[in-house]
Amino acid sequence: MSDHESHEVHVHAHPTAKKYLGIAIILTIITVIEVAIFYMPTMRPFLPPVLLTLSALKFAIVAMFYMHLKFDHRLYSWVFVVPMCFAAAIILALLALFSHAPIVR
C-alpha cells in the first residue's frame, strides 16, 4: 500500500468568482442597511448595538470567505474566533463601565 492510498486527501473547492461577487453584494447590502439605520431618528437609542452587530456580521463573512477560514481546519477558526470574542467582550464591558461612570471634577 503506498502513502497515497493510506492517507485520505481532503480537497475542498474554493469559491468561484460568482460566489465572491455574491458575497460582495451581501456586504454591500449590509453596509446600505447600516447607513440607512444611522439616518433614522427612531433608531438613535439602538444605534450602537445594531451597528456593532451588523459590523460583526460583516467581519465574520469577510473572515470566513476572504480569509478562507471556512475552508481551513476548524482549529484555525477557533484560534481566530475565541480571542476575537474575548476582546469584544472586554471592549463592551469597558464601554458599559465607563459610559455610566460619573465625571469627577
Question: Model pTM?
Answer: 0.66
Span 2-38, pLDDT tens digits: 555 555 555 666 778 898 899 999 999 999 999 999 9
Q: Are 51 and 31 in contact (CB under 8 A)?
A: no
Alpha-carbon span 64 to 72, nearest angstrom: 9
Extended strands (E) in 10-79: none
47-77 tens-digit pLDDT: 888 898 899 889 888 888 777 777 777 887 7
Q: Could you tell me which of 72, 65, 69 has the C-alpha nearest to residue 16?
A: 65
pLDDT at 89: 86
Do 52 and 58 touch, CB atoms closer than 8 A? no
Question: How many distinct helices (H) and strands (E) make up the chain?
Answer: 4, 0
Round the CA-based radius of gyration of the chain to a whole number and report it. 20
